[in-house]
Amino acid sequence: MSTMNTHTDLSQRTLIYPCAVRNINVRVTGAQSPSVIFVHGFACALEDWDAQVKALSPRLRCAALDLPGHGASGKPANASIASMAAAVNQVKEGVGRGGKILVGHSMGCRVITEAYMQSPADLVGLVFVDGSIIGGDPEIGVNRAKETARAGIDPLTQRVFNDMFVEGSDPSVRERIIARANQVDPPLREELFVDLARWDLTKARTALKQIAVPVLVLQSTYINSELKRVSLQTGMTTPWLDAIAASVPKSQVKVIPNAGHFAMIDAARIVSDEIGKFAAAIAQGRRQSVD
């Protein structure tokens, strides 16, 4: 473990967790319970959550990790939603005592749901940031994903990420995130892209029905009829939001208008505030149940 310099009196640590998926790079800041564990999306990295960690760590313990094969974490033996979730649970078990809240973005929504399925112990809440869900016939959908990935994972990554930003998004952020995504190992991206589709088509809806903890959904975009990602407006719904409403009784939805897919960057303050309020409500409820 190496200690990093910080300008506050909070301890900020970079941890390397040895586990079955090799080393996991984790940054832990703050000390108060509950712990909030931040999980990034496909071909992304832990720094996507820098604004939330900075805003929330004075009153919560915040842990942001690079998923296996991303950022500074080691490569997994196999790239799957299950192996990503196993890494999250490794962090969950080592980050400290007390309740844990998992926060996932995009693919990270699937990862934290799978993590909950694998090990619900100590989990007191989930936050989904701009999630989605794939529907249709599993065999057809998985085969289509394989064909798409094998046709060229680099142009696919470029195309998918280009569509994640709206007109008001910072161009420099767009360029940095796309360049970073293309640096992730191409075979890993291909394998993970296919498994993401497989997980959605075979496990997602069943998994959602088993969530018994409070869930906060922060939604900023959707894919329209022209297959273009656009900002979601208040009062609108999506297949993902419909699936949450039908399956997760303890759920609440907050629409974040005029933001792209990376809502935690485009609308950093709003996302931080909503997560903070959600964590505070859970902590208050747990204190009252003890009293």
User: Could you read off the pLDDT of 144-193 as tens digits, one per residue?
Assistant: 999 999 999 999 999 999 999 988 788 999 999 999 999 999 999 999 99
Output the CA angle 66-85-17, nearest 5 degrees.
Answer: 50
Cα–Cα distance between 97 and 26 in angstroms, integer? Answer: 17
Calpha distance 50→288 (Å, rounded): 31
> Which residues span the domain enclosing 57?
2-134+203-286
Inform me whether the pLDDT recorded for 225 exceeds 80. no
In a domain, residue 176? The reply is no
Quickly list H helices, 67-200.
81-94, 107-118, 138-150, 153-162, 171-183, 186-199
As a whole number, mean pLDDT of residues 223-250 equals: 89
d(CA 91, CA 10): 19
pTM of the model: 0.91
pLDDT computed for residue 14 by the predictor? 56
pLDDT of residue 289: 56
Which pLDDT does position 96 carry in this prediction? 84
Is residue 246 included in any domain, yes or no?
yes
Structurally, how many domains does the chain consist of?
Answer: 1
In a domain, 161, yes or no: no
More confident residue, 30 or 191: 191
Q: What is the pLDDT of residue 287?
A: 58
The residue type found at 121 is A
Domain assignment of residue 227, yes or no: yes
What pLDDT is recorded for position 7?
A: 30
* 52: number of Cβ within 10 Å: 27
| Residue 278 pLDDT level (bands cut at 50, 70, 90) | very high
**Percentage of the chain exceeding pLDDT 70:** 90
- CATH code of 41's domain: 3.40.50.1820
The yes-or-no verdict on residue 11 having pLDDT over 60 is no
* Overall average pLDDT of the 49-59 stretch: 97
- Per-residue pLDDT at 290: 46
Band (pLDDT 50/70/90 cuts) for residue 82 is very high
The verdict on whether omega for the bond into residue 34 sits within 30 degrees of 0, i.e. cis, is yes
Per the prediction, the chain carries an average pLDDT of: 90
Query: What pLDDT is attached to residue 21?
Result: 39
- Give pLDDT, residue 2: 30
User: Looking at residue 291, what is its pLDDT?
Assistant: 45
Phi, psi of 87, deg, nearest 5? -65, -40
pLDDT for 10: 38
Is 68 within a domain?
yes
In a domain, 146, yes or no: no
Looking from the CA of 186 toward its CB, the CA atoms found within 13 Å total: 9
Rounded to the nearest 10°, the torsion over CA 183, 188, 192, 193 is 60
Residue 190 lies in a domain: no
pLDDT band at 268 (very low <50, low <70, confident <90, very high): very high
Residue 10 three-state SS = coil
Does residue 76 lie within any of the structural domains?
yes
Place of tokens 């196993």: 86
